[in-house]
Structure 1
Amino acid sequence: MARDWLLEEMVREALGDTTGITEKAMFGGLCWLLDGHLLCAASQKGMMVRLGKGEDGWALAHPEIVTVTMGERTMPGWVRVPPGPSRDDDMLRRNLIDKAVTFVARLSSKPGLR
């Protein structure tokens, strides 16, 4: 699967100067990790964002946002935004990323990363 270079750049811009961010190619796209924890990803499928179990209801109220599924496994707390809204709705993208950073920052850092 080809990567979505434009969406990747938009995610980088939304992350700004957030400390502890690393990038890694995974899932057919590019993923961002915060202190070793998967935060979000961008690919031709759109944007995948980690909001945390029970923290995703507000996002799922958006008509185009769905819970992530990997194969037959549903991933509670993870949402996927299709390519159109991922690129076109700057406010939605930034809000999702801000909420993801807030959630993931509460997790303990992975050993050897701080």
Structure 2
Amino acid sequence: MAYDEDLAQRVRLLLKRRKGFSERKMFGGICFMLHGNMCCGVIRERLMLRLGEKNARKALEEPDTHEMDFTGKPLKSMIYVEQAGYESAEDLKYWIHQAVKFAQSLPAKD
């Protein structure tokens, strides 16, 4: 599985100056970490977000989102956003901000 490098670069530019930022290949794509906690990622052309169970449920009410079901079983704390949902710079910033807020609420692992 590969990932959309253009989308990954857009996400990277939004996150790379944050303290504790790192990258890791995961789920057949690339994940962006903050202080050792998964924040978001890119799998193929999908934006993957870790939002926590409550925030993920709420986010699924938004257009162009769906459950992350990478293994065939939905991951309740994570969602996918399809291209139409992150195409604009404003939309991408919104989604990344949501994932950053959740990642920052977790204890650092690094």
Q: Could you tell me how far apart the structure 2 residues matched to 1:61 and 1:73 are?
A: 19
Unmatched 5+ stretches in structure 1: none
The C-alpha deviation readout for 1:12-48, integer Å capped at 9, x for no partner, is 1222511101001111211111111111111214110
Q: Could you tell me how far apart the structure 2 residues matched to 1:39 and 1:106 are?
A: 11
- Report which of the two structures shows the higher radius of gyration computed on alpha carbons: 1
Deviation at 1:84, TM superposition (A): 4.0
Q: Could you tell me how far apart the structure 2 residues matched to 1:91 and 1:37 are?
A: 24
Counterpart residue number, 2:90: 91
Q: How many corresponding residue pairs?
A: 110
- State the superposition RMSD in angstroms: 1.6
Unmatched 5+ stretches in structure 2: none
TM-score, normalised with respect to structure 2: 0.88
TM-score, normalised with respect to structure 1: 0.85
| SS in structure 2 at match of 1:72 | coil
Q: Could you tell me how far apart the structure 2 residues matched to 1:84 and 1:25 are?
A: 24
| SS in structure 2 at match of 1:54 | helix
Q: Could you tell me how far apart the structure 2 residues matched to 1:16 and 1:109 are?
A: 17
